[in-house]
């Protein structure tokens, strides 16, 4: 029996009348079944906290990079901070698409000297990169995650340059 044939429609009408199914009840049942399937496939937000760890580490690194420093270090530190901020924005988009709570504003340690500051920043960037490099099961966020990883790698590059210039500056001026 074809779906658009008159006999099919008559049979469907008889079934609806026999079982007292209204059109609204049938529509509600179909809608419930279709939504239930999507809800069953949804990710539980606490299963993959790697985005939250990476975002927290990046936020700390960004705040440390924004602390004042010598003039010759500031340019690379500013570029690194911009790259870290872009990575945070990418993680925010990926986190929202993945159903994560992205509101996280961690405190930073302001007692670090220059050498320890860049070491802490680089350690945070490496840890965030490691958190993001884990396998992703939500294919909608892979592009955002990859873009965040690229920004983190660029931030590591500029942080290394800034740290090198800071060490050379400290050696030349005897601040080491």
Q: What is the pLDDT of residues 51-73, one digit of tens each?
A: 788 888 899 999 889 888 778 88
71: phi then psi, degrees, rounded to nearest 5: -60, -45
Q: For Cα atoms 35, 5, 23, give the angle at the middle one, nearest 5 degrees.
A: 35
For residue 126, pLDDT beyond 90: yes
**Do residues 56 and 34 both lie within one domain?**
no
Contacts of 136 (CB under 8 A, 6+ apart): 142, 145
Measure the CA–CA gap between 175 and 72, rounded to whole angstroms. Answer: 15
Both structure tokens of 175: 């601040």
Give the model's pLDDT for residue 32: 59
Handedness of CA 136, 81, 67, 163 (dihedral sign): positive
Euclidean distance between CA atoms 45 and 63, whole angstroms: 26
Residues 35 and 107 in one domain: no
Give strand ranges (E) for the chain. none
Considering only 65-79, 96-110, 144-158, which range has the smallest mean pLDDT? Answer: 96-110
In a domain, 142, yes or no: yes
- The band of 44, judged by pLDDT with boundaries at 50, 70 and 90, is very low
Same domain, 25 and 95: no
Q: pLDDT band for position 167 (50/70/90)?
A: confident
Residue 125: pLDDT band with limits 50, 70, 90? very high
pLDDT at 97 over 70: yes
Residues 99, 135, single domain; the answer is yes
In a domain, 132, yes or no: yes
Q: What domain range includes position 13?
A: 6-41
pLDDT score of 81: 93
pLDDT for res 35: 53
Assigned domain for 1 exists:
no
Report angle CA 90, 151, 161 to the nearest 5 degrees. 150
């Amino acid at each position: 029996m074809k779906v658009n044939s008159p006999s099919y429609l008559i049979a469907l009408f008889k079934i609806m009348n026999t079982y007292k199914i209204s059109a609204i009840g049938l529509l509600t049942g179909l809608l419930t079944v279709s939504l239930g399937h999507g809800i069953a496939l949804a990710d539980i937000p606490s299963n993959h906290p790697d985005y939250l760890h990476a975002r927290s580490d990046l936020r700390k690194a960004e705040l440390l990079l924004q602390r004042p420093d010598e003039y010759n270090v500031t340019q690379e530190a500013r570029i690194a901070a911009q790259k870290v901020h872009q990575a945070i924005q990418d993680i925010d988009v990926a986190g929202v698409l993945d159903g994560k709570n992205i509101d996280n504003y961690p405190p930073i340690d302001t007692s670090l000297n220059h050498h320890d500051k860049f070491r802490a920043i680089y350690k945070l960037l490496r840890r965030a990169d490691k958190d993001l490099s884990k396998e992703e099961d939500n294919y909608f966020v892979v592009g955002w995650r990859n873009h965040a990883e690229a920004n983190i790698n660029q931030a590591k590059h500029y942080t290394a340059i800034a740290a090198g210039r800071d060490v050379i500056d400290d050696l030349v001026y005897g601040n080491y």
